[in-house]
Structure 1
Amino acid sequence: MPSKPAPIKKAANKEPAKKEEKAAEPEPAPEAAPAEAAPAEAPAEGEAAPAEGEAAPAEAAPAEAPAAEEPKPPTPPPADAAAPAPEETPAAAAEAPADAAAPAVEETPAAAAEAPADAAAAPATEEAAPAADGEAPAADAEAAEAAPEEPKAPTPPPPPPKEPTSAPVDLFIEDKNDTSVTIIWSQPETIGHTGLDGYTIEIAKDGTEDWKAVNEEPQKSCRYVIKNLTTGDRLKIRVVAVNAGGRSGPCALPEAVLVKEVADRPKVRMPRFLRQRYVANVGAKINLTIPFTGKPKPVVSWTKDGQPLDTKRVNIRSTDRDSIVFIRAAERDDSGVFEMCVKVDDFEDKAQFILQIVELPGAPASLKIVDTWGFNVALEWTPPKDNGNTEITGYSIQKADKKTGDWFTVLEHYHRLNATISDLIMGNTYNFRAFSENKCGISESAIVAKQEAKILKTGIDYKPPEYKERDSSEAPKFTTSLNDRATTVGYSTKLLCSVRGSPKPKVQWMKNQMIIGDDPKYRQICVQGICSLEIRKPGNFDGGVYSCKAKNDHGEATVSCKLEVKQPAVADADKK
C-alpha cells in the first residue's frame, strides 16, 4: 500500500518542474504570484478545496508515471531564494507527517526545492508557505485512501416515538344524586411502553362543546365522583387517558346525564333473628340494627303497639342505610310490638318485630296436701300470679323431714299441677314446698304447704306364702360319655365322664365287666357329677373295655370305652 502513493507524489512533484520551465520564459512576474496564491488561500478556509485542486494531478499521475521512473535532479535555486528554502522545508515536513504516512516525508525535500522555482517572481516568505500548504492536503487525501479504516461502534437505534394510549372503555354511571354523579370505566386496551399517568374527567353542558376538566391532576383510579353539580343540569361526560405521549381519544357517555336523585322504592330488610319473637332478660342492653334501602334518603318513623315511641326509654338513630333501636337497661314495660316505617315520596314500606323482656317467675299461688295414706302423700298447687312475662316451663317439689329440717328435691321440671310423693318413712312428719320455672330459671321464692304430712305406724302381721315343694328326683343320666383312648406303656392316662341324678347316684368303675374296687393302680374321683378314672403307668395287660356305672333309687346308667395300650417305639440301634 505505501508504494502506490510514491509515483503519485512524484507525478505531483513533477508539475512544479514544468511550471519552472514555464517560469524561465519571459513572463511577467505578477502573473505567477496569483497562479499560486489561489491554492494557497483555499487551505486557510478549509482543507477540502486543496484536496479537490490536487485531485486532477493525482489522476494524471499514472499517465506520466513511465517518464518519471528516474527523477531529475532538482534545479538549484537562485541565490535570492536559497535562504527561504530551509525555512519552508521544516514547515512542509511538519505538516506531512501529521496528516500523511512515512512515504510523504521522503518527498518533502523535492517539494521544498521546487517551491522557490515557482515563487521566483514573488517574495519567498509569502509564496513558499502557500506552496507547501497546497501539497500537504494532497498527501492527506492519499494517506486517507491508503490507510485502512478503523471499525466504528454501532450506532444505537433511535428511541421509539412516544405515543398516547388508546381511549378508555366501558364508561357508565354507577350512581347519582341531586349534586353528584359517580362514574366508572375500564382502562384502555392499548397502553404502550410509555405507561399510563392517569385520567382526566371532562364535562360539558348538553348542546355545547365547552368541555372542562373536573380534576386538576390526572387520577389513577377508574372511578370518580363528580361533585358540586347543579340539580336539573344535563351534562355530557367523557374520560381521557393521559401519558407522556399526550392525551388519548375520549370515551364519552352515549347520552347526557340529568343531575337528579334516582328514586328507588323503600324496602325494610328485617334481619332473620328479628322475624321471630326477640326475648331478652330484664336489665339487658338492647341494640338492634334494621337495614333498609331507598332513594332519596327515606324518612324513618317508629311506633310501639301502634303508639309513638317514648324517646326517654327507647333511642332511635337512623342513617342512610339502617335504623338502630337502643335501650340502655331493658324493663318489662319495654316489651311490645315495634313497627318501622320507611317512606320515599308516595312509596312506603313497613316491618315489625316483637320484643319480649322476661325475668324469673313468682312462686306458685298455693300448695296443699290433699291426702296421706301408707307411705304416700298427694299434693296439689296453682300456677304463679307472675310468670315473668313468659310461659311457665315446669315446677320443682321439695320435701323436708321435720326432725332434720333439710330440704330435698323429689320432683324437678314437673309440668302438672298435682303429684304423689311416695317412699316416705313411717312415723316421720314431712313439710313440702314448690318452685316455679320459666326460660329465665327457677323462681327465687317458693310456697310452703300449710299442713304437715305425718306417716302413721300400723301393725303388720307378715305371713309368708306357702309353696309346694318341687319333686326333683331323677334317675342317673350321663351328660358326657366316655371316649375311646390309646396310651403308651408306662404313661399314665385318665378317663372322664359326667353324670347327673337325684338323689346323688353311686358310681362304680369296671374293667372288662369286672369291678375295679380299691385297686391302688387306679384312682377314682367323682366331684359334682364329674367322674374320672386315672390309670397309673399302664402295662401290656391294662388295655381293655372300661365302664362307668351310676345307680340311685330311680335307676342306673352305664357308659363304656376302649383303652388301647401300645408298646413304645424302639430305635434300630437299640434293637441291635
Structure 2
Amino acid sequence: MPAKPAPIKKSPVKKAAENAPEAAAEPAPVEAPAAEAEAAPAVEAAPAEAAPAEAAPAEAAPAEEAAPAEAAPAEAAPAEAAPAEAAPAEDAPAPEASNYIFITPPPPPEPTSAPLSVVVEDVNNTTLTVKWRPPETVGDSGLDGYTVEYCKEGSTDWVVANSELTPANRLCIKDLTTGDRLNVRVVAVNAGGRSEACALVEPVPIREIVDRPKIRLPRMLRSRYVRTVGAQINLVIPFNGKPKPVVSWLKDGQPLDSKRANIRNSDKDSILFIRTSNREDSGVYEMTVKVDSFEDKASLILQIVEKPGPPASLKLVDTWGFNAALEWTPPADKGNTEITGYTIQKADKKTGDWYTVLEHYHRLNATVSDLIMGNSYTFRVFSENKVGVSEECAETTDIATIQKIGIDYKPPEYKEHDFNEAPKFTAPLSDHATTVGYSTKLLCAVRGSPKPKVEWLKNQMVIGDDPKFRQISNQGVCSLEIRKPCSFDGGVYTCRAKNEQGTATVSCKLEVKQVIVAEADKEKEE
C-alpha cells in the first residue's frame, strides 16, 4: 500500500512568494543539478504519489535510499519531508498563482417531484388498476420510470407491485385478496433516486363493483338554469350506482348552507330544494356520487335574476331645432344578468303626460326628434333586461325648450267633399217561390246619402201598413216578410228607395204554389 502523502503547508509557499524578488536578483548557480529544477514543480502540484519524492531532491540522496521511503509507514512521511520544507527559497523558483486550476465538481443529480393525482381506474375481486399524472418537475436527469407500492390498511409493510420500473402512467396490480383494504402510492425514480410518494386519499376495498356511479343530468340543467328572485327551485337529478352511492354537494367549491338549500337523497336521485330563491343562491353547484373509490361528478350553473336598477346618470347634452340629445350610463345594478335595452320617454311640461319615444334601444345615447316648437320637455330612461323593465328611472334635471322661430304657417285649403249620393241597390231582389201557408221573406240592400226612404210595392201598388206584410230596413238591408201567403199573394214585388238625390228600384217575381193532395189521401180524409 503506498504511503500517505505528506501535507503541504501553505505558509512556506507564501514565504517563498514574498522572497521571490530577492531570489530573482541573485544569479542562479550553473552547477545546480537538473533534479532540483524538477523537484520544485513536484512541491507545487503536491500529488499524492509524489510526496516521498519531495525529500529526495532536498537531500540529494541516491535512488537506493529513496526506495525505502516509499515503503515507509504513513507516520514517517512528515519527518522525511521536513528537510524539504526547510530548503532555502533561493534553490526553487517561486510558485505562480496562474499555475493552479480549480475544478468545481458537478452537483449530484436530484430526484423528480412527486407524481400527481393518483386515482383508481378499475377494481374487482382480485385486481386493482390505478393511474396518475407525471410529476411537474423532472430535472436534467430525466425520468427512469415509476414504482407502485401497496400495503394493507393498518400495516406499514409496503409491497412493490412492479418488479421493474414502468414508464407508463397506469398499472394493474394483480393477485389481490378479496375483502382487503389497500393503501397505494406511486414513486417516480431517476438517477437522483426516489421522489416523494403520491398516495390515494383513502384505502380501496378489493371487491367487485356491481354498478358504477353515474349521474344522469337532465338536459335543461346542462346549460345555465335561470330563475327569477323569489321563485321556488326544485331540481331532481337521477343517478345510478350499486351499492348505494354516497351523495355530496358543493356550491362554488364550499359546502352548502343548510339554511338556504336543502338536499334530499334517495337510492335513485338527489333533490336540490330552495324554498324562496334570491341572488345569493346564484353559483356553480357540484354534485358528487361515490361508491367506494369510484365517483362521478356533475355541475350545474344556477342564476337568480331580477329587474335591473335605473341608469346611473342621465343628462341633456344639447337642444337644437326640433331635437334634443340625451346621454346616460349603464345601471349599477343589472339584476344579475345583462342589460338588453333601454326605454326612452318624454313629457311636455304643459300636460305632464309621458310618452314612449324609443323601446329596446341598445345604445347609451339617443336623439329625440319631432318636438313641438315653443314647448318644454323633460326626459326619462328605464333599463331593461330579460326579466323586464326597471321599476325606477333616471330623469333629466335640465329642461329642453324648443324655441319659436319666425315661421308663418298657413294650413292648406281643402275643398270639402260632397258625400251626397243617389240611392243604389248593392244587392238586388231575386225571384222566389214558396208554398201556400208557409211564410217567406224577400231581401235586398241599398245605399245612399242622405239615407233613402224605402217602400215596398206589389204589382205597382204600395203595400203600406198591411198587417200581412212586415217591412224592415236596417243599416241599408231591406226585407219584406210575407206571413202565411195564399195563392193570391203571388206577383211582382218591387223595393223602391228614394232621397233628395234620386230614386232607385229593384223587382222580383214571387210564385205561391198550391199543395196538391193525392186522391187516395182525400178518400182517407173523407
* TM-score over 0.5 for the pair: no
Between structures 1 and 2, the one with greater helix share: 1
State the TM-score, normalized to the length of structure 1.
0.35
State the TM-score, normalized to the length of structure 2.
0.38
